Copies of this chain bind each other. A is one copy, B any other.
Amino acid sequence: MLLQQATWQEVDEYLTRSKGLIVPIGSTEQHGPMGLIGTDALCPEVIAHRVSADAGILVGPTISVGMAQHHLGFSGSITLRPTTLIAVIKDYVLSLARNGFERFYFLNGHGGNIATIGAAFSEIYAERSLQRGSNQPGIMCKNQNWFTLPSAQRISKEQFGDREGSHATPSEISITQYAYPEAIKSMSEDKADAAPRSFTDAEDYRSLFPDGRIEADSFLASPEVGKEIVDACSKEVIASFNAFLAQD
């Protein structure tokens, strides 16, 4: 069930069965010469929607704009400052908790979000921790990157080996090619630049990675691999979500 396509009565009914939902979270940022700017939001959304279709798990609206300050040297990239993203996640979670949700499973598509998501969870918990004996029902938040799921890593390794890289990877581009075949782009088969060191701000990033990719041979992507990843990851997410809900 997709929250956006449900009614409030359907959500009420869902809550009698489950207190948890999945929140896809990504980013809107350049992904090199052939990767879509929405890649990091689209990938977890595609997987989460499959999970919803296959297992009846509720999926909230995708948080499409994330923490992407380092990509602002390329047109079309959008960032939320970390403090803004913390506020967004906090309001999102507390709104749903208000009516009974207790388990929030974030399915994340962007490495640059991880720290801020973690800080946001702590910000939510901190408010409760500062009050003794609040007797509120528990809130439990979990972040799961789709690209660190075992099957995603296995397929990446099998298919792309060390040409996967870490930004505009053939894996993530494969997923968007599978889900959005009308938006498949091509590029010359230039090997991506290696990362000499970690980056800082947008000007620094662009000077290190002139075409936007980090060590990723995006052109190896294919819709077929995308399908394989989505198939495998959605199964894993179902199991992982159910385990998360089964925790005491």
- A-to-B contact residues, CB < 8 Å: 2-12, 15, 28, 30-38, 41-42, 60-65, 67, 69-70, 72-84, 86-88, 91-92, 94-96, 98-100, 112, 114-123, 125-132, 134, 138-142, 180, 183, 185, 196-198, 200-204, 212, 247-248
Q: Count copies of this chain in the complex.
A: 6
**B128 and A202 form a contact (CB under 8 A):** yes
**A31 and B7 form a contact (CB under 8 A):** yes
**B129 and A202 form a contact (CB under 8 A):** yes
Contacts of A60 in B (CB 8 A): 28, 78
> Given B4, B72, B212, B248, which contacts A28 in the complex, CB threshold below 8 Å?
B4
Contacts of A82 in B (CB 8 A): 86, 119-120, 122-123, 126
**A72 and B7 form a contact (CB under 8 A):** no
**B6 and A36 form a contact (CB under 8 A):** yes
Contacts of A86 in B (CB 8 A): 82-83, 119
Contacts of A37 in B (CB 8 A): 3-8, 11
- Nearest chain B CB to A108's CB is how many angstroms away? 13
**CA gap between A9 and B100 in the complex, in Å:** 36
**CA gap between A132 and B74 in the complex, in Å:** 11
- Nearest chain B CB to A180's CB is how many angstroms away? 6
Interface centre among A11, A30, A76, A87 (most CB of B within 10 A): A76
Q: A82-B123, A116-B115 are in contact. Are A28 and B3 (CB under 8 A)?
A: yes
**A79 and B129 form a contact (CB under 8 A):** yes
> Given B11, B87, B98, which contacts A131 in the complex, CB threshold below 8 Å?
B98
Contacts of A116 in B (CB 8 A): 115, 118-119, 122
**B129 and A72 form a contact (CB under 8 A):** yes
Please give me the residue from chain B that is nearest to A126 by CB atom: B69
**B4 and A64 form a contact (CB under 8 A):** yes
> Given B36, B96, B129, B203, which contacts A69 in the complex, CB threshold below 8 Å?
B129
Please give me the residue from chain B that is nearest to A11 by CB atom: B76
> Given B98, B114, B126, which contacts A132 in the complex, CB threshold below 8 Å?
B98
